[in-house]
Amino acid sequence: MVCGICIRKSPATPAAKFGTRGSGLCKKCLTDVEISSPIQKRTAKLISKYEKQIEELTSQCNIKSDECSMAWSLVESTNQELDRLKMELHQKLVQTDNFEQVLDTQTDQLRKVSQNYENDKKLWAAAISNLESKIKAMKQEQALLSLEAHDCAHAIPDLSKMIEAVRALVAQCDDLKMKYHEEMAKRKKLHNIVQETKGNIRVFCRCRPLSKVETSSGYKCVVDFDGANDGDIGIINGGTAKKTFKFDRVYTPKDDQAEVYADASPLVTSVLDGYNVCIFAYGQTGTGKTFTMEGTERNRGVNYRTLEELFKIAEERKDTVTYNISVSVLEVYNEQIRDLLATSPSSKKLEIKQAGEGSHHVPGIVEAKVEDINEVWDVLQTGSNSRAVGSNNVNEHSSRSHCMLCIMVRAKNLINGDCTRSKLWLVDLAGSERLAKTDAQGDRLKEAQNINRSLSALGDVISALASRSSHIPYRNSKLTHLLQDSLGGDSKALMFVQISPSDNDVSETLSSLNFASRVRGIELGPAKKQVDTAELQKVKQMLERSKQEAKLKEESLRKLEENCQNLESKAKGKEQLYKNLQDKVKELESQLDSKMHSQITSEKQQSQLSGKLKEKEEAYSGVGA
């Protein structure tokens, strides 16, 4: 619209720029518009002028639109061409990566081939040098064999003298063995005589110091140690009355564990010589029996020191005797045997069986084999921690069972082949108690009754041994039944009697000392070795073998002459062997030539691979360009 007035659509009539005079046609709606003033005329002229400009601009706009559409289509075709070029570039890059991977692979292969070549070259060089050294060694060996053959040929006249010298040495060796056996028998006989003069059951008395509780309660010491060096000990009972007892050794409260064990040491040697031994601590509860036998980690007791001594002596004798040592720890609690080394409790009841003449064992008991002293303490602690303890009016941690450490020693003499099997019992007896004093009830009462009953059975056995009764009541208690093979006439025993110095326990102290004084000096009869019956057959076989060996020695001496004669034939055989080795060397040289030929072939292959690699590099460089 131009004038802003015409809103009606013009009829379909021929268009005219101007109508009648003084009027004009609207170009938009073809309406006859009257022109009445000069201004309107000027406006009409301007309108027509502008209309022409508009038409020109419109035509120019259409031309420009056509140009833009052509340019846009050109841009789209250019973009398509660009995408196509990008795709081709991507494909070229992928091909380049593939070429690089192939190049890397072939480079690695070439490197491996080079390395294999170098390794093979070194191996071949080492093989050649090794063959040369072997050839030299064979030549030297052949020369030595030739010399030996000539020496043997010259030594044949002196062979008879050598045979006589060997026979003289054999006779001298047999004589020395007989003398050694005689000296060993004399030594053991003298040792047994000394032990028997002291009594096969020896009794030592040890008194503990006053405890802090006893000192704070005002108790006094009633033990007199004036004659302790002579084995005498006095007990002041009721004012000035003093009762004296005699023992093999008396230890005061100032004596330490090492001094206590020193006098028991000879019995340890007896065990290694094949004798059964029993060492036990006896006394009322709270007198220090467990401390004497077990001790602490910083202050070892008899058990640990005994095993330490055993290993020490076994190490000293290792050139003539071999020892196998095993340990079992058990307790007799309420007349029942309990294995303290068992890892898990068993419902099976442990019973004592007779293994052989005068020998007893408990089937199913754990036997811990110990190789050295470092393993001993852990085994002893395991057994001690499993022991039954309880509390009463006398001792807060009273042992409620007899703890028994059994050390089994199997020995074999490397000189004469003798085998022995011996046993050492280290027994920490439960403390004797007076029920009125401990006021035990319930389980404690039952335990105390069984303890006193087994200790009474031990006293009955010792009394029967002292009176040389035809019947010894070993089976009245599990304790004495277990100790039967170590308390009989073929064994030795040692008792540590523990007493309290307090005037509060005078009656108990006197009871223990009276029992111990009856035990001291009992003669059990001559002790004798416990021969390992299982080895008797082996000993007989060894004797037969020795006889056969003696015959074989004579035959071997006869064969010496034949061997000397055969040496020359062997030398000839060595020469033949040398010739065969030379042939083998030639064969190896031919193999070496073939190896060299294969090496040349591998070098050619390597050069071919290098050429291929260069071609691939050139192709790769062309692709990159």
Known binding residues for ATP: 283-290
- Which residues on neighbouring strands pair with residue 502, listed in sequence order? 221
How far, in Å, CA of 300 to CA of 297, rounded? Answer: 6
Q: Which of 264, 270, 255, 342 is nearest to 304 (CA)?
A: 264
| Nearest CA among 625, 615, 607, 617 for reference residue 104 | 617
Q: Which residue in this structure is represented by tokens 């009355």?
A: 241
The residue written with tokens 């192709």 in the block is 619
**CA-wise closest residue to 227 among 203, 209, 243:** 243
CA distance linking residue 532 with residue 87, whole number of Å: 98
What are the φ and ψ backbone dihedral angles of 147, each rounded to 5 degrees? -65, -45
Quote the CA–CA distance of 404 and 372 in Å, as a whole number.
Answer: 21
Residue 574: C-alpha distances to residues 18, 146, 256, 560, 595 (Å) = 148, 9, 74, 20, 30
> For residue 612, what are the contacts with CB-CB under 8 A and spacing of at least 6?
106
Please report, as a single letter, which amino acid is at residue 312: K
Is residue 532 within 8 Å of residue 419, measured between CB atoms? yes
In the numeric block, which tokens belong to residue 283? 């006394």
| CB-based burial label for 581 (10 Å; 0-12, 13-18, 19+) | middle
Q: In b/e form, how buried is each residue of 196-222, taking b as 16+ CB within 10 angstroms?
A: eeebbbbbbbbbbebeeebeeeebebb
DSSP-based three-state secondary structure for 330: strand
**Rounded Cα–Cα distance for residues 362 and 342 (Å):** 13
